[in-house]
Chains A and B, each alone.
Chain A
Amino acid sequence: MSQRENQFQAVVIGASAGGIHALQQVLMPLPADFPLPIIVVQHLHPDAGAYLPQLLDNKCQLKVKQADEKEFVQAGWVYLAPPAYHLLIEEDHSLSLSLEAPVSYSRPSVDVLFESAIFAYGKRLIGIILTGANSDGALGIKKIKQAGGYVIVQAPETAEADAMPKAAIAAVAGNQAVDKILALDQIGQYLLQWVNRNFLGIRMK
């Protein structure tokens, strides 16, 4: 069997205030055969239940679900952290949940997801920060850059809450910078093109 191999292996996304709308904008343009699994932390009320994955699943071509403990991630799927649990990716690409203390007041925490994703995927990771009113994810974005991954941030002026994208951009300012700062309505299309441009060719299995 042969398989088209991509330079990237996964996409992680962090969002907070305004994220429900922003996630729809980003995910809706992606086709059902998008080649990478997408793992998302969206801050929600602890009692929010599975409303958001349901909503996104209805609107997107990709399949969207709440992450289950120890399931393996697959291309074609979007996984969302359950409210009130941290979501982590293991090195075997299965998902773990955890009730560890909130990190910068957040559980799930974007930083926790991103950090574990770096250990699982190294530089073959794309990190995206969307709208939000805190600075969760800034440290994670910085670490993804340090590990050689690719980083996209929503343009703050297009964000319902601009603190989170601003913090992410500031965290890597200086010698490095985020790879792309894009208006909300461009992120999905760009992601699709960028991933398609980075196929390494056919790998024989």
Chain B
Amino acid sequence: MQNLENQNIELQLLLQAIYLKYGYDFRQYAKASIKRRVLYHLEKHHLSNISQMQHRLLHDVAFFDSLLLDMSVNVTEMFRDPACYRVLRKEVLPALKDFPHIKIWHAGCATGEEVYSMAILLKEMGLYERTQIYATDINEKVLKQAKEGVFPISRLRQYTQNYQKAGGTESFSDYYHAQYEHVVMDRKLRKNILFSDHNLATDNVFGEMHLILCRNVLIYFDRGLQNRVLNLFDEALIKSGFLCLGSKESLNFSTVTEHFDVIAKTEKVYRKKNEEKT
């Protein structure tokens, strides 16, 4: 095995180079997983060490793009963790129903399945027309797919089951039409969704939100970056606003823990306290 210490230095330099050249900041991502994916890419391209890879990616944009694909984890599904959507339906959205205008932010939305799920939920609760959804990600490729709202038909069985477990009140097939190997989500669901580019590691807050969902994104960050992002959410939320994290994520190691009440422990739903920060 190559000298571990050298390898770690090379990895740090690689992440620095990516940041300086392309503006993507992976320096505070959880190292074990980043390293695994960099080494996987190294093997795939028959490079002998990370320094070689650094040289190549500085001079070859296409090479960087392919690395970026290997570095990102975009797996998602509709109504992922149905129990979480039940909490949204029963406890979160009812608390927002008296606002004349509702703003929801999906941070790290990947290919958009989660966002369309939210749109369906809002429709069924009669809140869609007053809601603006902001759906953001750093990866332009997945954002493009999210905008199209076209998903492989092979996943539909599971999505339909998830929808039912999530407490869906209609027939799931009302929300899409099938086209060969794909389903196209109903255009009406798209109307109040704004998909855009936003980097949680480097960008700032862009508005006051009633509800923020950031699920299965923080697990890829180290504790420092997790804390930055949670502070960002704290800042963006209105008082008594809601925050929903992925099922293995929590506010535990952050400096904002005290600013939130736990609404649903297993489903990782939190509510910002209705008091001034001290």
Q: Chain A residues in contact with chain B, CB under 8 A?
A: 68-70, 82, 85-86, 88-91, 94, 96-101, 112, 115-116, 118-120, 122, 143, 146-147
By the criterion CB–CB under 8 Å, are B35 and A100 in contact?
Answer: no
- Which listed residue (B4, B32, B216) contacts A96, Cβ 8 A? B32
Q: Mind listing 26 A-B residue pairs with CB under 8 Å?
A: A68-B252, A69-B218, A69-B249, A70-B226, A82-B248, A88-B30, A88-B36, A94-B223, A96-B30, A96-B32, A96-B33, A96-B219, A97-B248, A98-B33, A98-B219, A99-B75, A100-B33, A100-B36, A100-B75, A101-B73, A101-B75, A116-B32, A116-B36, A119-B35, A122-B4, A146-B1
* Residues of A with C-beta under 8 A to B75: 99-101
Which of A85, A91, A119 has the largest count of B CB atoms less than 10 A from its CB? A119
Determine the distance from Cα of A85 to Cα of B220 in the docked complex, in whole angstroms.
12
- Mostly, the A contact residues are mixed
By the criterion CB–CB under 8 Å, are B32 and A99 in contact?
Answer: no
- Which listed residue (A68, A88, A147) contacts B32, Cβ 8 A? A88
Determine the distance from Cα of A118 to Cα of B39 in the docked complex, in whole angstroms.
14
Cβ of B31 under 8 Å from chain A: yes
> Closest residue of chain B to A85, judged by CB?
B248
* Residues of A with C-beta under 8 A to B30: 70, 88, 90, 96, 98
By the criterion CB–CB under 8 Å, are A119 and B4 in contact?
Answer: yes
Cβ of B111 under 8 Å from chain A: no
By the criterion CB–CB under 8 Å, are A69 and B219 in contact?
Answer: yes
Determine the distance from Cα of A94 to Cα of B224 in the docked complex, in whole angstroms.
13
* Residues of B with C-beta under 8 A to A91: 8, 31-32
By the criterion CB–CB under 8 Å, are B31 and A100 in contact?
Answer: no
Q: How many residues of B contact A (CB 8 A)?
A: 24
* Residues of B with C-beta under 8 A to A116: 32-33, 35-36
* Residues of B with C-beta under 8 A to A147: 1
* Residues of B with C-beta under 8 A to A101: 73, 75
* Residues of A with C-beta under 8 A to B35: 116, 119
By the criterion CB–CB under 8 Å, are B249 and A90 in contact?
Answer: no
Contact A70 to B32, CB < 8 A, known contacts A97-B248, A98-B219: no
- Which listed residue (A70, A99, A112) contacts B216, Cβ 8 A? A99
Determine the distance from Cα of A68 to Cα of B218 in the docked complex, in whole angstroms.
13
> Closest residue of chain B to A89, judged by CB?
B32
Additional 14 contacts, C-beta under 8 A, given A91-B31, A96-B219 = A68-B250, A70-B222, A70-B226, A70-B253, A90-B30, A90-B32, A91-B32, A99-B75, A100-B75, A101-B73, A115-B36, A116-B32, A116-B33, A118-B1
Determine the distance from Cα of A116 to Cα of B32 in the docked complex, in whole angstroms.
6
By the criterion CB–CB under 8 Å, are A70 and B1 in contact?
Answer: no
By the criterion CB–CB under 8 Å, are A112 and B36 in contact?
Answer: yes
* Residues of B with C-beta under 8 A to A82: 248
- Which listed residue (B8, B37, B73, B223) contacts A70, Cβ 8 A? B223
* Residues of B with C-beta under 8 A to A122: 4
By the criterion CB–CB under 8 Å, are B32 and A100 in contact?
Answer: no
Which 9 A/B pairs are nearest by Cβ-Cβ distance? A88-B32, A116-B32, A96-B30, A98-B33, A69-B248, A90-B32, A97-B248, A97-B219, A100-B73
